[in-house]
Amino acid sequence: MNASSAEPDLRELVRPERVGRALAEALEDDRWRELDVTLIAGGKSNLTFELVSAAGAVVLRRPPTGELLPSAHDMGREARVQQALAGTPVPVPRVILVDRTGDLLGVPCYVMEKVDGHVVRDELPAGYARDPGAKAALADALVDVLADLHLVEPESVGLGDYGRPTGFVARQLRRWRGQWDASKTHEVRALDELGARLTDALPAAGRPAIVHGDFRLDNCLLDGRDPARVRAVLDWELSTLGDPMTDLGMLLFYWREPGEPAPLLTPAVTRHDGFPRRAHLAERYARRTGAGLDDLAFYEAFAHFKFAIIAQGVAARVASGAMAGQTFGDLDDEIRRIAEAGLTTLDQKG
Whole-number pLDDT of residue 46: 82
- Residues 100 and 151 grouped into a single domain: no
- Residues 249 and 109 grouped into a single domain: no
What is the rounded average pLDDT of the residues 75-80? 93
pLDDT band, residue 2 (cuts 50/70/90): very low
pLDDT band, residue 54 (cuts 50/70/90): very high
User: 122 in a domain, yes or no?
Assistant: no
pLDDT in tens, 106-144: 999 999 999 999 999 999 999 999 999 999 999 999 999
pLDDT band, residue 331 (cuts 50/70/90): confident
What separation, in Å, do the N-terminal and C-terminal C-alpha atoms of the chain show? 52
pLDDT, averaged across the chain: 91
- Residues 106 and 143 grouped into a single domain: no
- Going from the C-alpha of 56 to that of each of 16, 36, 148, the distances in angstroms are 15, 11, 30
Whole-number pLDDT of residue 44: 53
CA 58 – CA 65 distance, rounded (Å): 21
- Residues 29 and 105 grouped into a single domain: yes
Decide if 39 contacts 59 (C-beta within 8 A).
no
Tally of helices (H runs) and strands (E runs) in the chain: 10, 9
- Residues 96 and 139 grouped into a single domain: no
Give residues with Cβ within 8 angstroms of 203, minimum separation 6: 169, 245, 295, 298, 299
CA 243 – CA 289 distance, rounded (Å): 13
DSSP 203: P
Domain end (from 81, 113, 145): 113
Domain containing residue 318: CATH number: 3.90.1200.10
- Residues 137 and 109 grouped into a single domain: no
Does 318 or 303 have the greater pLDDT score? 303
pLDDT in tens, 10-47: 888 999 999 999 999 999 999 999 999 999 854 456 88
Expressed as residue numbers, the domain containing 271 is 132-349
- Residues 289 and 229 grouped into a single domain: yes
User: 58 in a domain, yes or no?
Assistant: yes
The count of domains in the chain is: 2
The string of DSSP codes covering 41-74 is TT-SSSEEEEEEETTEEEEEEEPPSS---TT---
Percent share of the chain, pLDDT over 90: 79
- Residues 182 and 308 grouped into a single domain: yes
What is the rounded average pLDDT of the residues 191-212? 95
pLDDT band, residue 68 (cuts 50/70/90): very low
- Residues 201 and 275 grouped into a single domain: yes
User: 54 in a domain, yes or no?
Assistant: yes
Instruction: With a cut of 50, say whether residue 6 has pLDDT above it.
Output: no
Q: What is the dihedral of CA 156, 159, 163, 169, to 10 degrees?
A: -50
User: 212 in a domain, yes or no?
Assistant: yes
Whole-number pLDDT of residue 322: 54
- Residues 109 and 149 grouped into a single domain: no
Domain containing residue 61: CATH number: 3.30.200.20
User: 1 in a domain, yes or no?
Assistant: no
Whole-number pLDDT of residue 289: 98
- Residues 313 and 257 grouped into a single domain: yes
What is the rounded average pLDDT of the residues 149-161? 98
User: 270 in a domain, yes or no?
Assistant: yes
- Residues 207 and 342 grouped into a single domain: yes
Instruction: With a cut of 60, say whether residue 267 has pLDDT above it.
Output: yes
User: 172 in a domain, yes or no?
Assistant: yes
User: 120 in a domain, yes or no?
Assistant: no
